[in-house]
């Protein structure tokens, strides 16, 4: 990950740690329960959670496995993860500063790598996926969740411009077919995918990243003029003096082949 992109991520997410700790989408979103169900973690597993944010995925899996390392680029997020783990009495979680594209762990170290709602910040997604594969043991499992967009390139570009205006550290959200191809290229065998939709209230979503008023107006204007291909995805509706819209998310579970 480039130094410039790292700086953007730290600048954007350092002040947002508390907001992400209390965000229902991140702490209680449907994809978290689906990910846990589909992965079916085992009590002896050692797990790495990449881009842990406020640690919700790491905290959820910790009750089911032997040990979890919650890794992130942003120190404030790691401090929040440690705080939440202590509050829950979880002693099998440790935090570690880590760049997803250059993980500071040995080859064949983990039984499971998870990455939830962080991948769209990685400027070199192929390198990040190669790192997931490198640190997994042969036969190791992958539990992945991220937002997805429509296959149409122009509409996908509009979607990502919308996200980047809200969050300058945003890199790119991909259609499902692109994600599947990336994982398969790195040697993963995909077992299952499950597509989900989540509805957000605009101001809570924008305020979590401290979006200024002028950019809020630009975002609302973009939503009023979305391409036709994005209408099923965003499905915007105005009610109660605010705007609600949807995002699509996918859960991907796979594994590396045994030697």
The pLDDT value recorded for residue 177 is 97
In whole angstroms, what is the distance from residue 32 CA to residue 251 CA? 9
38-58 confidence digits (pLDDT tens): 999 999 999 999 999 989 999
Is pLDDT of 23 > 70? no
118-168 confidence digits (pLDDT tens): 999 999 999 999 999 999 999 999 999 999 999 999 999 999 999 999 999
Nearby residues of 208 by Cβ (< 8 Å), 6 or more positions away = 16, 19, 20, 23
Q: How many CB atoms lie within 10 A of CB 176?
A: 17
Is pLDDT of 227 > 70? yes
pLDDT band of 19, cuts 50, 70, 90: very low
The pLDDT value recorded for residue 209 is 87
The pLDDT value recorded for residue 14 is 43
Which SS3 state, helix, strand or coil, does residue 244 take? Answer: strand
Higher model confidence: residue 240 or residue 61? 61
Q: How many CB atoms lie within 10 A of CB 115?
A: 24
- This prediction has a pTM of 0.91
In whole angstroms, what is the distance from residue 246 CA to residue 195 CA? 13
Is pLDDT of 201 > 70? yes
The pLDDT value recorded for residue 17 is 47
Domains along the chain with CATH numbers:
3-153+169-199+249-255 (3.40.50.150)
């Amino acid at each position: 990950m480039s130094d410039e992109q790292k700086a953007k991520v730290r600048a954007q997410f350092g002040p947002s740690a508390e907001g992400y700790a209390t965000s229902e989408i991140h702490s209680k979103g449907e994809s978290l329960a689906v990910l846990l169900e589909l992965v079916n973690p085992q009590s002896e597993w050692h797990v790495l959670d990449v881009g842990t944010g406020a640690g919700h995925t790491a905290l959820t899996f910790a009750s089911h496995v032997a040990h979890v390392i919650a890794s992130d680029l942003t120190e404030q997020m790691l401090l929040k993860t440690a705080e939440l783990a202590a509050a829950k009495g979880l002693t099998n979680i440790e935090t570690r500063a880590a760049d997803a594209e250059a993980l500071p762990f040995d080859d064949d170290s983990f039984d499971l790598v998870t990455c939830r709602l962080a991948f769209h910040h990685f400027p070199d997604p192929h390198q990040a996926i190669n790192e997931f594969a490198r640190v997994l043991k042969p036969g190791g499992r992958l539990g992945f969740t991220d937002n997805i967009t429509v296959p149409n390139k122009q509409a996908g570009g509009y979607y990502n411009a919308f996200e980047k205006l809200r969050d300058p550290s945003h890199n790119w959200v991909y259609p499902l077919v692109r994600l599947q191809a990336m994982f398969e290229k790195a040697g993963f065998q995909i077992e299952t995918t499950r597509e989900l939709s989540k509805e957000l209230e605009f101001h809570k979503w924008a305020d979590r990243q401290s979006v200024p008023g002028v950019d809020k107006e630009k975002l609302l204007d973009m939503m009023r003029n979305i391409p036709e291909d994005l209408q099923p995805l965003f499905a915007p509706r105005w009610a109660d003096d605010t705007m609600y819209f949807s995002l699509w998310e996918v859960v991907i579970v796979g594994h590396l082949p045994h030697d």
